């Protein structure tokens, strides 16, 4: 019995290492967000000044096309970022219809929540003191998911 448990643990660790899985995500900097956005041929906008009233938001930017956008925020603390994350999750759930699909992850330094309805795809991810957010027509779901993957969120 002990040998089976040991073999199972070894297989699990090997699979974990081979797939490159990580229990943690790396928060990107504002400059990295800008660089990835522009190198992906998307429009980048620094919208930090629009949030000057909110001292918790240190930087804010957009990655945009003519039909969808991803918002990126750097907060003064993990708690501030988590408050925004929770606020977005609540907003998404209020938009939930009778037909929807939810996905959520809560790991060491990050959380994600995604909701797909008949009409919209909504995604928010908090990594440490940063948040990436998007709410788009469902037909752009794959493009947004691919971009979020590119930035590591």
Tens digits of residue pLDDT in 27-74: 999 999 999 999 999 999 999 999 999 999 999 999 999 999 999 999
Q: How far apart are CA 73 and CA 56, in angstroms?
A: 10
In the predicted structure, residue 138 carries a pLDDT above the cut 60: yes
Strand, helix or coil for residue 92: helix
Tokens coding 31: 């400059």
Q: Model-level pTM?
A: 0.84
């Amino acid at each position: 019995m002990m040998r089976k448990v040991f073999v199972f643990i070894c297989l699990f660790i090997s699979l974990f290492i081979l797939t490159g899985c990580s229990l943690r995500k790396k928060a990107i900097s504002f400059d990295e967000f800008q660089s990835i956005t522009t190198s992906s041929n998307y429009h980048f906008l620094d919208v930090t000044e629009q949030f000057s009233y909110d001292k918790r938001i240190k930087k804010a930017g957009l990655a945009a096309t003519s039909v969808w956008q991803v918002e990126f925020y750097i907060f003064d603390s993990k708690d501030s970022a988590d408050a925004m994350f929770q606020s977005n999750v609540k907003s998404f759930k209020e938009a939930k219809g009778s037909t929807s699909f939810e996905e959520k992850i809560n790991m060491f330094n990050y959380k994600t929540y995604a909701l797909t309805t008949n009409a919209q795809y909504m995604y928010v991810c908090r990594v440490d003191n940063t948040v990436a957010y998007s709410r788009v027509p469902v037909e752009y779901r794959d493009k947004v998911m691919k971009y979020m993957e590119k930035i590591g969120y």
